[in-house]
Amino acid sequence: MAEPGKRAVAQWRRWALANLGPFAALFTTNFGSAWLILAPVVSLVATYAPRRLFRTYFNLFLRRRSRRLLNVVDPYVTIDISEPGGEVRYSRYGPVSDNDSTYEEVKAYLSGAAREQDARELRAEGAREGNGLVVSMRDGQDVADEFRGVPLWWSSVVARDVQGQRKGDRRFQRLTFHLSHRALVVDEYLPHVRRQGREILFSNRRRRLYTNSKSRDSYSYEYKSWSYIDFDHPTTFDTLAMDRAKKRDIIHDLDTFRNSREFYRRAGKPWKRGYLLYGPPGTGKSTMVAAMANYLDYDIYDVELTVVHTNSDLRKLLIDTTSKSIIVIEDIDCTLDVTGDRAGRPRRRANGGGDADDRPRDSVTLSGLLNFIDGLWSACTGERIVVFTTNHVERLDPALIRRGRMDMHIEMSYCRFEAFQTLAKNYLDIDDHDDLFAAVGEVLREENLTPADVAECLMAARRAGSGEPSPCLQILIDELKKRAVEKAKAEAEAKARAEAQAKAWAEAEARAAVEANAAARDRAMATHSNV
């Protein structure tokens, strides 16, 4: 089989030499002549043509093909996230700073991976706010991560900063991944890293209690809408004196709200929720707000409406609040005219003349408050809770407390046995006492005492009983009975005063009516005599 193949190859070679030889000689001769003519031109072009021409040719025709070849050899992509610099640039819209928080968020996200994996050279830095620590990789270290089954690698890199006027080294967090996962990394993984990093930074911060400044001071150069102090209230739902079933309902509602970002977006609703706390004074409405803030780890914005002069000022306060916060307006029935008699309320005249409504033009109105909690501006940031407290819920306008604005109405009632058990644990560190607990429960069923009253009695009993359970509880029973008698007497006196005042007002109105009738008769008689 080999001999016929060799004979065929030899025959093909003889045919090629016989038929193509003259053409090859002609091509060689002509090419040599042409090269003698073109060589000086090519030399001149190579010498004097600008480099941009060759760079353009490379970028247009060769770079893409070279990248394809490089992707076969090295199919990995890197993304550098640089620490922010200190310089401030300027644009047509004003100063632009590159002090963004992306680098800090990535470092916070990687702190968990750095602790859990085999990175042995770490660096611990104090959080910007709070007492927490952010553990990150030292320069040159790397950790692995995984997102939806895709492996990723992070490394800490230091490079010489050659841009701008900043001197020295700049650190990067470098992400490496396979180029086939580019869309997943850019569209989903990096936003996930930032969200998780913000959560970690948020949990490390000091929580704050804000109060609003006077609106009249807004023209001051150093004016700020809110001032704050660190919030360190010790109340939790475990120490809150309240019915246990009601506490469980509130905690479940708060958990549902906190974990419902996608639900609110899908339903087309702003991510906020309203709570109305109502009940007699001393039933723990403000304490409930503190427990909610501690449970959710939220800041509190305490709005003082008496120093807010216009609806526009109120809207500015809303814009300056942040997400993950509780906006509180306490005793709302005392700080704003929010009663439900709008139909009978006289309207303001268009020309500004006097009428029965003597409120100033630049005051906060019910309409402004409704827009504050449920208007378009209420959706400017997400994950916020609005809380109203009042001692007289019946005085509030129905539009203010309807579902959708105040989604959950929570009655803060008098102290009953379950609430007392929590107070006994807090003040006396006891959970039960067969005889004396039953006696306390009997007193609380018969008398309407607030948790504040019971807590004060427990303090007195603790001081007098030297901290021993039985003497303290016996003293507590006597104190509760004494407090109940004093309260009943005070209520009777207040009722008598109210009745006496109402009687005095009625008598005054009757005298005024008699005097008005007498004056009318005198005027009528005078008119008749003149006629």
Domain ranges of the chain: 3-73, 80-87+97-204, 208-411, 417-506
Q: In the structure, what pLDDT confidence band is assigned to residue 322 with cuts at 50, 70 and 90?
A: confident
pLDDT digit string, tens, across residues 83-136: 876 454 544 445 545 557 788 888 888 877 666 565 566 666 666 655 566 666
| pTM greater than 0.75 | no
Q: Which residue has the tokens 């990175």?
A: 119
pLDDT for residue 356:
42
Q: Give the mean pLDDT of 37-45.
A: 61
Percentage of residues in the chain having pLDDT higher than 90: 18
pLDDT value of position 128? 61
pLDDT at 444: 86
| Beta-carbon count within 10 A of 474 CB | 18
Average pLDDT over residues 418-434: 86
- Asked if residues 393 and 423 have their Cβ atoms less than 8 Å apart, the reply is no
Residue 318 φ/ψ, nearest 5 degrees: -65, -40
Give the model's confidence band at 29: pLDDT under 50 very low, under 70 low, under 90 confident, else very high: low
SS3 for 91-131, per residue? ECCEEEECCCCHHHHHHHHHHHHHHHCCCCCEEEEECCCCC
Domain 208-411: assigned CATH number: 3.40.50.300
DSSP state of 206: P
Encode pLDDT of 491-517 as tens digits: 888 888 888 888 888 888 888 888 888
b/e 173-199 (16+ beta carbons within 10 angstroms → b)? bbbebeeebeebbeeebbeebbebbbe
Instruction: Work out the average pLDDT over 282-286.
Output: 92
Q: How far, in Å, are 51, 261, 321 from residue 300 at the CA level?
A: 64, 20, 10
